[in-house]
Amino acid sequence: MDHAIDIAKIEAQLRTGDPGVQHDALVEISGATEGLLETAVQGFRYTSIPNIYAEHLAKFGSAIVPHVENLYRSYEHGRERTSLAILLLYFGDKSGLSDVMSALQIDNESQLLAAHKLASAGIVEAKEPITQLLREYLFGQPLTQASGPKIDSLLLALTNLGAEVPEDMTDRLSAPDCPKYIAAHLPQRGI
């Protein structure tokens, strides 16, 4: 589909001061914009990096939401649906909230992004699943420098939700074997 418009022509029409001519120019811009948004969203079907593609779609602003909602409904499950649900939540649309919440438990690729977006959206129901995910990182595997950013991201999500970090976790974060990267961020997180 061709969405090309003659920018010089549109500029000239907008500068005429004639309401009818300006209206026609705005209608042309609107039509081209809607077509471009739909094209951008449909391109999502062909990406191998859905989280990153969805983040780029966010740059189009809330005008993208109706197009994303339609695409989201076309997926039954999977990382593509999760990525679109996270994008919708970013714009305040909670239609995919269950998919974003599920990502905290089953989708390793999207866990931290889901935690961040849920916290940013103020979804208090996410406190417990984010706490459980943090518990897995703290007690289910050795603490390493590599796990530091993940742990810090989850602590930030909990802080943004106003959640208290359980005492056993704060003890673990204060332990002598806790990597310096993690320990250095604790005061910033109120721990």
> What residue ranges do the domains of the chain occupy?
1-121, 123-191
Average pLDDT, the chain: 90
Q: What percent of the chain has pLDDT over 90?
A: 68
- pLDDT average, residue stretch 154-175: 89
Residues in the chain: 191
From the list 175, 186, 170, 111, the residue with the least C-alpha distance to 143 is 175
From the list 61, 11, 9, 5, the residue with the least C-alpha distance to 28 is 5
Q: Report pLDDT for 100.
A: 96
Q: pLDDT (tens digit, 9 = 90+) per residue, 15-67? A: 999 999 999 999 999 999 999 999 999 999 999 999 999 999 999 999 999 99
Task: Evaluate if residue 106 carries a pLDDT over 90.
Answer: no
Q: Coil, strand or helix: which one is 5? A: coil
Kindly list the distances between the CA atom of residue 181 and the CA atoms of 132, 175, 190, in Å, as whole numbers in the listed order.
21, 13, 16
One-letter amino acid identity for 70? N
Tracing tokens 């905290």 back to the chain, one arrives at 104
Alpha carbon 77 to chain centroid, angstroms: 17
Count of CA atoms in the C-beta half-sphere (13 A) of 86:
29
Structural contact between residues 116 and 103, judged by C-beta atoms closer than 8 angstroms: no
